[in-house]
Amino acid sequence: MRVSYLGPRGTFNEDALRESAGGDQVEGLPVASIYEAIAAVPRGEADRALVPFENSIEGSVRSTLDSLALDVEGVTIVGAHDFRVRHCLIAREQMPLDQITAVLSHPQPLAQCARFIREQLPGAEAVSAPSTADGVQRVSESDQPWAALGARGAAALYGCEILREGVEDSDENVTRFVWIAPEGTEATGEGPWRTSLVFAELGQDHPGALVDALLEFSRRGINLSRIESRPLRSRLGRYMFFIDLEGRTGEETVDEAVAGLRGKAESVRLLGSYPTG
């Protein structure tokens, strides 16, 4: 099975792919963006994609939400995998921390390690990179006293040294990844089921419009585990709403609630029903 993911090689995304695939044989296809990873599926370039969906510290991954809701059609979420993130501080060679003048990484790890950088590397500038692996590669090629935040595998890949391991600010730093498949693919697996969807345009704006829409779920005893708004990319002040609910399509109460929501929102898109166990 060919699986697209946010590259390059040596990122946590690659580590998550290997862990989530377990013993299954997969061929990883690293691409330049989350959008490209998802779009590779309907284009037939990949059988599946694995992309980050939500982080326990930084919240939802906006590029994933926007790609699924607005940019890519013909896909569905068929599974989820929770990946424990352990950031390493990586340098070209061993050096004292007080000599480091810059820390390179993707903005997410920089935010997830902000307290460590502030307290342990007060003289270092935080520098954004396209990916964690890109940051490690740039450090490996520079003779400057730089370090990077990245995966253990990236240090080995680029011949660098690990100065510190587990430098994330929270021990519960977990990223939920989701498996993307062609639309119409039936999800299989065990454990609690979750349904993700996005809706927008609740008719003429009035007080309580969003509450009225969400009552379709509460009055049927369906628990919403997440709700988030994102700009609709039209005019200012217009939003779309992402929700995760406990249950799956095919269950009477879930199907009735979604049907009721369709009667109140101009746009409702099911992103997928999938097991979380």
Q: What is the pLDDT of residues 132-164, one digit of tens each?
A: 999 999 999 999 999 999 998 899 999 999 999
- The confidence score (pLDDT) of residue 36 equals 97
Q: What is the pLDDT of residues 65-107, one digit of tens each?
A: 999 999 999 999 999 999 998 999 999 999 999 999 999 998 8
Residues of the chain with pLDDT below 70 are 204-206
Q: For residue 44, is it left (φ>0), alpha (ψ between -120 and 50) or beta? A: left
| Gap between the Cα atoms of 121 and 177, Å rounded | 30
Please report the pLDDT score of residue 67 as a whole number: 96
pLDDT of residue 10: 86
Residue 185 burial (10 A CB sphere; 0-12, 13-18, 19+): middle
pLDDT for the residue 77: 98
- pLDDT at residue 168, rounded to an integer: 92
| Residue 141: how many other CB atoms lie within 10 Å | 11
pLDDT given at position 205: 63
List CB contacts of 234: < 8 A, sequence separation 6 or more.
none
Taking residue 57's Cβ as centre, other Cβ atoms within 10 Å add up to: 17
Distance CA 274, CA 277 (A): 9
Nearby residues of 215 by Cβ (< 8 Å), 6 or more positions away: none
3-state secondary structure the chain: CEEEEECCCCCHHHHHHHHHHCCCCCEEEEECCHHHHHHCCCCCCCCEEEEEEEECCCEECHHHHHHHHHHCCCEEEEEEEEEECCCEEEECCCCCHHHCCEEEECHHHHHHCHHHHHHHCCCCEEEECCCHHHHHHHHHCCCCCEEEEECHHHHHHCCCEEEEECCCCCCCCEEEEEEEEECCCCCCCCCCEEEEEEEECCCCCCCCHHHHHHHHHHCCCCCEEEEEEEECCCCCCCEEEEEEEECCCCCHHHHHHHHHHHCCCCEEEEEEEEECC
pLDDT value at residue 56: 84
**Residues contacting residue 69 through CB under 8 Å, at least 6 positions apart:** 198, 230, 240, 242, 269, 271
State the pairing for strand pair 48-55/174-182: antiparallel
Residues of each domain in the chain carrying CATH 3.40.190.10: 2-85+173-182, 88-165
pLDDT of residue 201: 84
Domain 88-165 fold: D-Maltodextrin-Binding Protein; domain 2 (3.40.190)
- State residue 233's pLDDT score: 75
Q: CATH number for the 193-275 domain, one of 3.30.1330.10, 2.40.37.20, 3.30.70.260, 3.40.50.2300?
A: 3.30.70.260
Q: Half-sphere exposure (CA, 13 Å, Cβ side) for 27?
A: 5
Where does CATH 3.30.70.260 sit in the chain?
193-275
Placement of tokens 């790890």 in the chain = 109
User: Given this model, what pLDDT does residue 161 score?
Assistant: 97
The domain 2-85+173-182: what is its CATH number?
Answer: 3.40.190.10
pTM exceeds 0.95, yes or no: no
The per-residue pLDDT for 170 is: 85
Strands 224-231 and 102-105: unpaired
Q: What is the Cα–Cα distance from 221 to 252, expressed in whole angstroms?
A: 12
